[in-house]
Chain A
């Protein structure tokens, strides 16, 4: 299956889930390109991934220094122009929160441990089964936000993944957020680690299948070719 979708995977110094993300995308026939963090234009991509890892060594705070990268500054323009989807996984979610592209912040797990395990999640999305199992691997995954922000998150129906057995102390059991308006997904669990049967878990495929459908649906040009030409070729 060749979908023609073009995915860009941002690589910061210290990113380590870039290749996993690439392989997961390629499993679905998407074209992928790595984007070094000093890239200034992201317009040719239908979706941008901020993969897991330890961008800039997680110095100062997880995700804090990445927000000054040219690629992340360009990502803000990408979001404002509603060009495509943004997916932040683990460290990518932390970067999205630090840049305020998603609300709230992620802090040290309540038990102070680095938690690396498969967890059950309640999914709030029509393309997902009610419960999925994804891998988590983080030391700073405790979602925190002010009461007002949490209320807004509920009002806008932004929680798309919730921990069944909250392992890190996150507010409202939040494991993943989806900002529909700005087409941004952010989550601590790793869907890219649940694509190949060899890993013993293929629940991650639900995420990529859902994303593929959304990308194709969101293409508004006449030729409907992927990557979307944005009306320039048709």
Chain B
């Protein structure tokens, strides 16, 4: 059994209004640093899973993302920096 780690980023689906992102956007405009930042907020999770190989670890990660960390009605997720520990 091998151990893998990954970073998960959960964001709102395209077309779903992101009020927190808009709020940060407004503040950025106000600071004058950037006028077209288009902020999108989301959540970040870092975790490790065990598996026989990469495929089984990734399939575990997908289940975790779909069932626990995100809600497909509203959100999408990305698995990044996947590597063996």
A-to-B contact residues, CB < 8 Å: 60-61, 64-65, 68, 98, 104-105, 107-112, 144-146, 169
Contacts and interface: CB of A to CB of B under 8 A. Distances in A.
A105 B17 contact: no
Interface residues of B, number: 12
Main secondary structure on B side of the interface with A? mixed
Interface in B12-62: 12, 16-17, 19-20, 23, 43
Nearest to B24: A112
A144 B69 CA distance: 18
A169 B69 CA distance: 24
Nearest to A111: B19
A109 B20 CA distance: 9
- Residue with the highest number of chain B CB atoms closer than 10 Å, among A64, A68, A104: A64
Contacts of A169: 17, 19
Interface of B: 12, 16-17, 19-20, 23, 43, 68-69, 71, 73-74
A61 B71 contact: yes
Contact of A144 (B20, B23, B43, B73): B73
A47 to B, nearest CB: 27
Contacts of A60: 43, 68-69
B73 to A, nearest CB: 5
